[in-house]
A and B are shown apart, each in its own frame.
Chain A
């Protein structure tokens, strides 16, 4: 039972982590909480659905289609909604409100196009179950956990080991110094939005496939929890986001195990509250460089 619940928690936790990373990336670079992220996550899953259902692509092409369109949507959010504000020197709160507004616009468009009801989504990895230490575990969970983990590792390698990743870190730490070293800061910001949106799209697709359905409201609660995970782990810190996601995922399934299912939505935020009391910058967040 414990093992089962642990696996349940880790599987959902890696998804939270993947979404949380998107919040962290954008926050790191703009010091801005990007509230469009949960709607971009939803958009990503819908784009796969569009690829399969309307464009008759096979599932891998559909995922690729979603990555590109959703990533591009992320870039457009910045170019159309946020960059003009930055150029005019608008306050952070205006930018934040803008992201909340844009988020509603995206979800409303999805509602108009697809309705607000549940839509069936293809199950990409249903390979039955297996037994481990007496627990019944669905392959599905292992696979989505693994896919999310591989992506997180790839993302981390990209950021820590490549030239562009170095430029992203440079822009995060000192945007003006990055510019005078020849880094095209606007390009890096766009790239960050692209990466954040694309990882959200994958997370959305994984969850839609895991649940085997999607709907326009699917990002509401996941978005909030992933945001909590990002803050819990220390927003702006990539390992922090992953840790935060896993902690929230596992504590949720443990809460269901020990306390009952109705506590599930409370756990994330109670944990966040407690951790922030002790460590205001999150578990792996550092004072100064990463403050909300």
Chain B
């Protein structure tokens, strides 16, 4: 019986791995490696990758990254690629799993003619060292953990650090005039870090503008939020600061509307997406979030991206998706900048020193490879995110 079980497990493993490969767009035919990139007759594709959760609880994010990067790569290919060489986008499903993400990183590091990755979601904190060892640039569109860029000098972050984002959230609460905070945070690294960070921020500010009246650590996902809401209600919270993903924020908000109709709900930038609006419906009206991206903007670059994205996915791009779009833009610009000299160190240097202007604003990086982001308070009104 044990033998049978083992075989079954082995079979499962094989199936999952095959599944992962099937989702990738890696063609075996381009294996003929050519190290010299300067030859203008060379038509070997330049490979870049996007990795994110295409299935599982966080698939919303990965599907967005994937579509955004495809739009950017298609745009470049339409303009003739890089030095006449086509760009090939490898797309991998991280399946909302750290292990899967790590496996993908290992696969990618073995690719020829491969120059960088946009993304990772669940595995962001696990893959950085590996990419750095292999000198592969990794630009995250979503990570906000303090330690992400500390994994190595190949890890760049186009997302705001947790402090910047938290400040943006606090500003939202202040703008709405509801400063008694009930903090709801996920019981993972990110959620706990965010909460600790908030406490530190408030101490620095001398606790003047805001007051934390309650803090609730949650398991997230499909739990019953009523028990948490009862606690917030009893503590007299005016604003709920949500350090959790939209799949917790939406159910929380729906429940909160019944028991605490006046609660101001401020979520992170990860809630700036279409699914949040669609699933939340009337219940998420009035929810606030800080964002670096506004799909309602008149900027032509933003319009191109939003229209293209809508045409392909019938959805409005999220803030993180827009960052993934810019991240791919930064990566491709850096590869192109070196006159076809496909030297990894040179590309890394170009990324570090970029002056790229994307749909989320300036994408320049600080010395420790964090982007400086400018937040505006946004609010849900009539089913879309608008400036508050």
Contact = CB atoms under 8 A, between A and B. Distances in A.
Touch between chains A and B, by CB atoms below 8 Å? yes
A118 B226 contact: no
A84 interface: no
A9 B227 contact: yes
Interface in A104-120: 111, 115-120
B222 interface: yes
Interface in B224-252: 224, 226-228, 230-231, 233-234, 246-247, 250-251
Most buried by A among B8, B224, B228, B283: B224
Nearest to A1: B234
Contacts of B250: 118, 213
Main secondary structure of the interface of B (DSSP, over half): helix
B254 interface: yes
A78 B258 CA distance: 41
Given A91-B1, A116-B59, A262 B227 contact: no
A270 interface: no
Interface stretch (A17-25, A135-143, A147-155, A235-243): A135-143
A166 B223 CA distance: 37
A192 interface: no
Given A1-B234, A213-B251, A221-B221, A8 B258 contact: no
Contact of A93 (B1, B55, B217, B228): B1
Contacts, number: 112
Interface residues of A, number: 45
> Which of B59, B226, B228, B254 has most chain A Cβ within 10 Å?
B226
Chain B, interface size: which category? 35 or more
A217 B57 contact: yes
Given A120-B278, A211-B222, A221-B221, A140 B1 contact: no
Nearest to A3: B230
A262 B279 contact: no
A83 interface: no
B121 to A, nearest CB: 14
B341 interface: no
A222 to B, nearest CB: 7
Nearest to A207: B222
B308 interface: no
Nearest to A94: B4
B60 A117 contact: yes
B18 interface: no
B383 to A, nearest CB: 12
A262 B187 contact: yes
A9 B275 CA distance: 30
A102 interface: no
Given A11-B226, A136-B230, A261-B217, 7 more contacts: A8-B227, A117-B279, A118-B246, A221-B221, A261-B184, A261-B216, A261-B227
Interface of A: 1, 4-5, 8-9, 11-12, 91, 93-94, 97, 111, 115-120, 126, 128-129, 135-136, 138, 140-141, 210-213, 215, 217-218, 220-222, 252-253, 256-257, 260-262, 264-265
Interface of B: 1, 4-5, 8, 55-57, 59-60, 184, 187, 216-219, 221-224, 226-228, 230-231, 233-234, 246-247, 250-251, 254-255, 258-259, 275, 278-279, 281, 283
